[in-house]
């Protein structure tokens, strides 16, 4: 007799026939939301209530500030994040100390936005973790080569200031060309970051091994010191 295999996700006991519902369960019986939509007249109010019930105040503030590129007051951010102004200002000041948020004192009061340097480094670190980083670099390089070949010019700026009158499609290409150049610079930075990180791991591992060997030598020869 073979031993029965159990799995951690399966129930300990299956329901009996009496415990099963009289009618089969349908998709309509499953409610993915934790807030009753009948309590709200508008879908925006329902979505806001759902977001508030599923997240903490700090999470909502971080989400809002991560998408804030222009300076805004704590009151504006509080309204969007569904928190009090006091809570928003407290969290924003703490994030500013961490370097995540940029703040500026103005005549209208203290204003906040995401820190551009921190946001860029975050993007680069995320790109560095991609398994297709090299493929992405090659793809963007090919795209840039295609633009240069099509317009016979070194870059989008040269095309934009040339004497030729550009069509809307060509103006769109200028915009995409600029985006591709920026994307390539980020991808290259991510590749260099990844290489530096790997080199640090190798160096640290070598130092640990050397330290271990040195410690063993001292232990084997206690009278060396």
**Interhelix angle 168-220/133-151, nearest 10 degrees:** 150
**pTM of the entire predicted model:** 0.59
Q: What is the mean pLDDT of residues 168-197?
A: 94
pLDDT given for residue 84 in this prediction: 95
- Asked whether the predicted pLDDT for residue 218 surpasses 90, the reply is no
pLDDT given for residue 108 in this prediction: 85
Q: What is the mean pLDDT of residues 75-82?
A: 95
Would residue 138 count as lying in a domain?
yes
Residues 97 and 132 in one domain: no
Cross-strand pairs, 103: 112
Q: Of 114, 141, 160, which residue sits at a domain end?
A: 114
Note the pLDDT tens digit of each residue in 12-28.
454 555 555 555 544 44
Alpha carbon distance 34, 49 (integer Å): 9
Q: Of 89, 114, 139, which residue sits at a domain end?
A: 114
Residues 141 and 183 in one domain: yes
Would residue 32 count as lying in a domain?
no
Of the candidates 191, 92, 189, which has an alpha carbon nearest to the alpha carbon of residue 134?
191
Inter-residue contact 136 to 187 (CB < 8 Å) = yes
Note the pLDDT tens digit of each residue in 97-110.
999 999 999 998 99
Would residue 31 count as lying in a domain?
no
pLDDT band at residue 207 under the 50/70/90 scheme: low
Residues 106 and 171 in one domain: no
Locate all alpha helices (DSSP H) within 69-167, ordered by sequence. 74-81, 85-98, 116-128, 133-151, 156-160
Residues 123 and 213 in one domain: yes
């Amino acid at each position: 007799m073979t031993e029965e295999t159990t799995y951690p996700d399966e129930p300990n006991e299956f329901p009996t026939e009496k415990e099963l519902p009289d009618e089969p369960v349908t998709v309509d019986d499953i409610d993915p939301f934790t807030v009753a939509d009948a309590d709200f007249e508008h879908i925006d109010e329902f979505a806001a209530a759902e977001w508030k019930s599923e997240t903490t105040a700090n999470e909502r503030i971080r989400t809002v500030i991560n998408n804030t590129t222009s300076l805004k007051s704590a009151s504006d951010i509080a309204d969007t994040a569904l928190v009090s102004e006091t809570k928003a200002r407290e969290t924003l000041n703490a994030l500013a100390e961490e370097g995540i948020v940029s703040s500026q004192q103005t005549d209208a009061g203290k204003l906040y936005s995401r820190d551009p340097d921190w946001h860029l480094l975050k993007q680069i670190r995320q790109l560095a973790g991609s398994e297709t980083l090299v493929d992405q670099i090659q793809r963007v390089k090919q795209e840039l080569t295609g633009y240069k070949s099509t317009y016979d010019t070194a870059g989008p700026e040269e095309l934009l200031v040339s004497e030729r009158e550009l069509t809307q499609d060509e103006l769109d290409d200028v915009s995409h060309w600029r985006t591709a150049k920026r994307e390539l610079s980020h991808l290259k930075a991510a590749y260099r970051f990844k290489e530096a990180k790997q080199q640090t791991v190798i160096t640290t591992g070598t130092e640990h091994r050397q330290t271990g060997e040195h410690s063993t030598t001292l232990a084997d020869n206690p009278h060396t010191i």
